[in-house]
Structure 1
Amino acid sequence: MSTIVLVIIAITCIFSYFGLNNTVLFEKYKFNVAAINNKKEYVRLISSGFLHADFMHLFFNMFSLFLFQGAVIQFFGEIGFIIIYFASMFLGNLFSLFIYKNQPWYSAIGASGAVSGVIFAAIAMAPNDISVNFLPGWLFGTLYFGYSVYMMLNPKQWDNLGHAAHLGGAFFGLVYSIALHPQLAMSNILYLGAMSLPLLYLSYEIFIRKRIG
């Protein structure tokens, strides 16, 4: 595993640990619509990606990052990985800000947007070369996004996690992959299509149903 990935995981774990044990720190750096729109605290678009709801949430995101980072670094290098990780984190939270702009109370935390970008970029390059508990990587990615979409569309089960950020992060990971390796990405279009189904359904629910309603 790359040193840069180890550093990101270490910083995320340390910052998450302090956030879980310090309410003031947690509240100051989590994603919050009112704080970003009214107080212009744009640092939350990045800092929230280093906070997690609990140790299971932290483990799931960092474990997913560990599984998929190798393919991303192999095809894009460490600089490419950094671009994908942080641009996906930023755009994922920016998309959340757009979705919840009229809900100032909305808050979220987690590296979900960044990890989503890494997953999509990895699957675009090597859909069958990654396995998670005997599941092919593309199927794990599909389930990962399916769960996120379900949680986002069921507010009664809202868990304070940044599920909406998955869409923006995944979008950047896919676009970046196609831009740099178009032929390889398009050769894996069926796997990417399967992983996109939950996100396409989410888009339908957000844009089409709201417009009809």
Structure 2
Amino acid sequence: MMQISETVKHLIIINVIMFVGTLAIGNGTLFYEWFALYFPKNDAFQPWQIVTHMFMHGGFMHIFFNMFALWMFGTPVEQVLGSKRFLFIYFSAGLGAFLFQLAYYYVQYVPNYNALIESGLSPEKIKQMLTTNEVISGTTNAQVSMLKDIFPAYNASMVGASGCIMGVLAAFGMMNPEARLMLIFLPIPIKAKYFIPGIIILDLISGLTGQSFFSPSNTAYMAHVGGALIGFIIMWYWKKNQFNNNRWY
């Protein structure tokens, strides 16, 4: 059995502590209100959530699979890169995941919000209806339709280490392209250089179409894509410059 590396071990411990706190404190809602990442236009958003959401999870299976992947792929990556560079990839991928998902939400939100303002609704009324999910008297059908389009983005919350782990997974794939991987429910070994891009492409398709392949329908697919892309870029840069001060071996 592969021995867990130190940084990976500490990250798993922090995630487990946060998960236990979520279950034990505040009837399962207080930690989400404080530490999940909310859309910046929502009053529930706080700056620290940009980091804390990476240590939050939505259920036992969510944290189990994420921590299993962190142990499985994070340990060999940390063993090669060392703890500092591993953490750099981990948190950079998490931030990249946040930015990609946020951009995806803003693409949905901004045009509809501007159209609602142009249609005569005040910012206060828009906020009231988005917060309460109740339509104010006098709102037209067209306005209601636009409100429905931006309601999911406005009220979205993000939790999970998936974006960080996708960055680590991309790094692992670049370091071990010939390693054979397989899905639990599809036990066919596939080389990492094909398996990992395939997973990322499926996430991208899911994010753009809403068609879920392996994950729950409420998965932040663009966060997965963003985390993987940042992990790939960092590893590409380090590998390209492996003979200078940025070497990664």
TM class, shorter-length: 0.7 to 0.9
Q: Which has the higher helix share?
A: 1
Give the corresponding residue for 2:230: 172
Q: CA RMSD in A?
A: 2.6
Bigger Rg, which one:
2
| Contact 1:107 1:160 survives alignment (8 Å) | no
Alignment of 1:90-169 (within 5 A): 90-101=95-106, 102=109, 103-129=153-179, 131-132=181-182, 134-155=189-210, 159-169=217-227
Q: Please say if residues 34 and 105 of structure 1, whose CA atoms lie closer than 8 Å, have aligned partners that are also in contact.
A: no
Q: 1:136 to 1:125 in 2, by over 3 A?
A: same
1:79 matches 2:84: yes
Contact 2:174 2:193 in 1 (8 A): no
Q: 1:29 aligns with which of 27, 35, 44?
A: 35
Q: Given the alignment, which residue of 16, 24, 27 partners 1:13?
A: 16
1:68 matched to 2:73? The reply is: yes
Partners in 1 of 2:103 and 2:23 — Cα distance?
27
Alpha-carbon offset, residue 154 of structure 1? 4.7
Residue aligned with 1:131, SS: strand
CA distance in structure 1 between the partners assigned to 2:69 and 2:190 by the alignment: 13
Structure 1 CA distance, aligned partners of 2:193 and 2:69? 12
Q: Deviations over 1:84-137 (max 9, x none)?
A: 001111121122112112232222211111001001111111112353454433
TM-score between the two structures when normalised by the length of structure 1: 0.74
8 A Cα contact 1:108 1:160, kept in partner: no
Pair 1:182 & 2:240 matched: yes
1-structure distance, mates of 2:207, 2:23: 23
Per the alignment, do residues 40 and 53 of structure 1 end up closer, same or farther by CA in structure 2, a change over 3 Å counting? closer
Aligned partners of 1:45 and 1:94 also within 8 Å: no
What TM-score, normalized to structure 2?
A: 0.64
Please give the alpha-carbon distance, in whole angstroms, between the structure 2 residues aligned to 1:156 and 1:19: 30
Matches of 1:169 and 1:138 in 2, distance apart?
17
Counterpart of 1:87 in structure 2: which amino acid? S
The structure 2 residue matched to 1:55, chosen from 57, 60, 76, is 60
- Residue 89 of structure 1 corresponds to which residue in structure 2? 94
Task: Name whichever of 138-147 and 83-92 sits farther off.
Answer: 138-147
Q: Do 2:37 and 2:159's aligned partners in 1 also have CA atoms closer than 8 Å?
A: yes
1:46 correspondence with 2:104? no
SS of the aligned residue for 2:160 comes to coil
Asked if 1 retains the 8 angstrom alpha-carbon contact of 2:200 and 2:228, the reply is no
Which residue is equivalent to 1:199?
A: none
Q: How many residues of Structure 1 are paired with residues of Structure 2 in the alignment?
A: 183
What secondary structure, in the 3-state scheme, does the structure 2 residue paired with 1:53 have?
A: coil
Q: Distance in 2 between matches of 1:147 and 1:171?
A: 14
* Aligned counterpart, 2:129: none
Q: Contact 2:8 / 2:75 at 8 angstroms: preserved in 1?
A: no
Q: Summarize deviations over 1:51-94 as a string: whole Å, max 9, x none.
A: 11211111111111222123322432111100000111112112
